[in-house]
Amino acid sequence: MIKQLSVFLENNPGRLAQLTRALGDGGINMRALMVADTAEYGVVRILCDEPDRAVAVLEEAGFGVSVSQVIAVEVPDRPGGLADVLESLDAEGLNVEYAYCFVEPKGTAAVDIFRVDDPARAQQALEAIGVQVVSATGLYAPDVASA
Amino acid sequence: MFQPEYEAMERQRLEGLQLERLKTALIRVYENVPMYRTKYDEAGFDPASLQSLADLASVPFTIKDDMRACYPYGMFAVPMKDIVRLHASSGTTGQVTVVGYTAGDIDRWADLMARTFAAAGAGPEDIVQIAYGYGLFTGGLGAHYGSERLGCSTIPISGGNTKRQVQVMKDFGVTVLAATPSYALLMGETALEMGIDIRDLPLKAGVFGAEPWSENMRLQLEDVLGVKAIDIYGLSEVLGPGVASECENQHGLHVNEDHFIVEIVDPATLQPVPDGETGEVVFTTITKEGIPVIRYRTRDISRIIPGECSCGRTFRRIERISGRTDDMLIIRGVNVFPSQIEQVLTGIPGVAPHYQVVLTKRGSLDHVEVHVEVGADFAFDEIKALERLQKRVKAEIVSALAISIDVKLVEPKSIQRSEGKAKRVVDLRSEGSK
């Protein structure tokens, strides 16, 4: 499982830039960023190399941060690859709250991030069908919340 | 109970006593205080015409400005030779006002404060530390005389020098503390720094007042000090401490109705409201000699708690002061107190009790948007959780205020903190419609 940071932001001009600048100044490297927005506010979800330190950096800079556990899987690079993954979760009755993906610069596979209600069970279900669940060490080196 | 013959007096007899004392008080102020005479003559009110307590509703009000205009001695109803004590209001809201007491006033005041200490569970065997300020402020001496009247061993330590306060509390075996709630909390913290846990000391009760405090503060004080924390209420214009205080039930403050008539009025229409409804607290002193006040508008917000108290006192109770009319908003004709919003927010996990009310015009209608901080510890990863939170906050505020509002969730710690009075309201209604 991977530690994901969620930052609550009001929809104000420049706020996202301030957020990323704070991380940059703190020497935090992001691997993925996804914004869920409503008319008035948004939640910015971040995967980064040192999540624990990133929380401290952001709180110091005045942002509200919460940490949640997500699972990352390498989705096979073929038609129906993602569908297989989702169906196996569905078969287990696991609900996907949201998902987003990015491409590993080294590899050929896409990495999909899932927020599910029971990440431990989801991981089992995925491993049962041979899907590779990426650990935090696999995603980035130090400051690990290992799977 | 210190004076059960009054504190538990049968209601009908009590009201008879009030009426008789009120009639005398009205005539006394009319004859001795030019401010009242002028005011009543202009309003066409004849003090001798009052026949019932209900008639009080037609008597003109007295306000803080009347007292300021009479500075320093214009409100006194007796010659200076009969005044034995002068105090002055703290002047937090403007010019200082001076209050004078006759020997009889001081005597009655001691009785009233003795009632307060007795209601907190104190008796002659108790050792009472008075950490209210002694001086022009009524708190110190007011509490002091009451504690002595009850027969307690009274320590006139006054405020300040917190470490010495803690040392005295420990060495003297203090059992009852009288202080402002914020100072009592500071004493608790200071004690811990000194390696003393006040909960291990004999201290059993705290008589706290002179500033607004919340139910959460009570829990905190009772936890840190290991005491029963009693809320007391008073204001120098009416007497000082001793106007009203809680009993052991800690559910509302019994007003000493044999000396003060309490009314709750709608701050907009100034009409009395039925028991149970919130409004501005108005006091009439019916035994004060030095400086009687008739229908004095306190600008404090409370309500009468309907029903009887199981402690046996027949005096009606006012609820803990929830705010000041100075903060009152009139939105679409409805009176709204920002403190009502605060009360709602403290009951909802996931939001901080920091908020701002932004008022604008939409067409001809007032529009209210309440900005509420998401709690720093709220798990706001999922939008639907935030939406649920927003809906809940909105529903609860709407239900408390009985007007429709919008809620905007804002970032944790984004609403400006203030060391003094927080800026809770941004009124943009005069800046045209949006």
Domain boundary among B273, B305, B325: B325
pLDDT band at B145 (very low <50, low <70, confident <90, very high): very high
Residue B259 has pLDDT above 90, yes or no: yes
B316 and B354 housed in the same domain: no
Q: Please give the Cα distance from A10 to B278 (Å, whole number).
A: 36
Q: Are B267 and B243 in contact (CB under 8 A)?
A: no
Q: DSSP secondary-structure letter at B180?
A: -
Tell whether B394 lies on the interface with A, counting CB pairs under 8 A. Answer: no
Average predicted confidence (pLDDT) for chain B: 91
- Residue B119's pLDDT is 97
**B176-179/B127-130 β-pairing:** parallel
Token pair of B25 as six digits: 């008080």
Listed range (A139-143, B54-58, B141-145, B211-215) with the worst mean pLDDT: A139-143
Residue B155 has pLDDT above 90, yes or no: yes
Q: Please give the Cα distance from B402 to A30 (Å, whole number).
A: 47
B235 and B298 housed in the same domain: yes
The better pLDDT of the pair A45, B345 is held by A45
- B266 found inside a domain: yes
**B83-88/B98-102 β-pairing:** antiparallel
Give how far Cα B123 sits from Cα of A105, B146, B240, B242, B246, Å: 79, 11, 22, 17, 16
- Residue B328's pLDDT is 75
B183 and B106 housed in the same domain: yes
Tell whether B136 lies on the interface with A, counting CB pairs under 8 A. Answer: no
Which of A38, A45, A64 is the closest to B411 by Cβ?
A: A64
- B75 found inside a domain: no
- B245 found inside a domain: yes
Please state, for a pLDDT cut of 70, what percent of chain A lies above it.
89
* Structural domains of chain A in order of their starting residue, each with its CATH number: 2-68 (3.30.2130.10), 70-139 (3.30.70.260)
Most B CBs within 10 Å, among A41, A43, A69, A115, to test the B interface? A41
Among A32, A26, A25, A28, which residue's Cα sits nearest to residue A139?
Answer: A32
Which string of DSSP letters, residue by residue, matches B120-179?
A: TT--TT-EEEE-SPPSSSHHHHHHHHHHHHHT-EEE---S--HHHHHHHHHHTT--EEEE
CATH number assigned to the domain comprising residue B394: 3.30.300.30
Number of domains in chain B: 2
- Residue A145's pLDDT is 40
Domain hosting residue B345, numbered range: 329-431
Which of B408, B412, B413 is the closest to A40 by Cβ?
A: B408
Domain boundary among B325, B359, B391: B325
B150 and B243 housed in the same domain: yes
Token pair of B100 as six digits: 């004078």
Residue B200 has pLDDT above 50, yes or no: yes
Walk across the sheet containing B406-410 and list its strands: B406-410, B365-374, B351-362, B425-427
Segment B295-310 mean pLDDT: 94
In sequence order, what are the residues at sequence separation of 6 or more whose Cβ sits closer than 8 angstroms to the Cβ of residue B199? B224, B225, B226
Tell whether B386 lies on the interface with A, counting CB pairs under 8 A. Answer: yes
Q: Which residue of B has its CA nearest to A116?
A: B382
Domain boundary among B282, B301, B325: B325
- B4 found inside a domain: no
B106 and B239 housed in the same domain: yes
B101 and B136 housed in the same domain: yes
B100 and B228 housed in the same domain: yes
- Residue B22's pLDDT is 98
Segment B237-245 mean pLDDT: 96
Q: Are A23 and A32 in contact (CB under 8 A)?
A: no
Tell whether B416 lies on the interface with A, counting CB pairs under 8 A. Answer: no
- Residue B333's pLDDT is 76
- B16 found inside a domain: no
Q: Which of A3-12, B112-121, B204-213, B377-386 has the highest mean pLDDT?
A: B112-121
Alpha helices in B33-128 (DSSP H): 34-43, 64-69, 103-119
Residue B53 has pLDDT above 70, yes or no: yes
**B98-102/B153-155 β-pairing:** unpaired
